[in-house]
Amino acid sequence: MMESLECGFCLSKIVNRKSYRKVNSEEFSCALKTIGLEQSTINIVCTNCFNRLYKLKIFDNDVKDKIVKLIHGKEALVQTLRDMPGVKRSSSITPTQSGLHLK
Ligand SMILES: [Zn+2]
């Protein structure tokens, strides 16, 4: 017999061992912080809430990957344009000026 457990997010009853997941690990600390919780605040969640939290975790990773790809794409584009003969002849830009301007 399982002790009475409830989802740390939606407070629904956990009915069996397959209907919950533990989220108090380092793996989810970033996603939990994003919604304003400390890693140790919530121990177990139902599978529905786990799927939502997992999506949030993956979302953060996807955003990072996309930003890295965009930055590399920009660097390649800047280099292509700088290598064009007309640009080389008339440019006074130094190579250090290719950084992001996110203001
Ligand atoms: Zn839940």
Ligand 1 centre to CA of 63 (Å) is: 25
Which residues have C-beta under 5 Å from ligand 1, the single-atom ion?
A: 7, 9-10, 46, 49
- The domains located in the chain, with CATH, are 5-83 (3.40.1800)
Residues of the chain with pLDDT under 50: none
Ligand 1 centre to CA of 61 (Å) is: 23
Q: What is the pTM of this model?
A: 0.61
Amino acid at 37: L
Extended beta strands in the chain, E state: 5-6, 13-14, 20-22, 44-46
Ligand 1 centre to CA of 13 (Å) is: 8
- The tens digit of pLDDT for each residue in 10-33 reads 999 998 888 999 998 899 998 899
Ligand 1 centre to CA of 15 (Å) is: 12
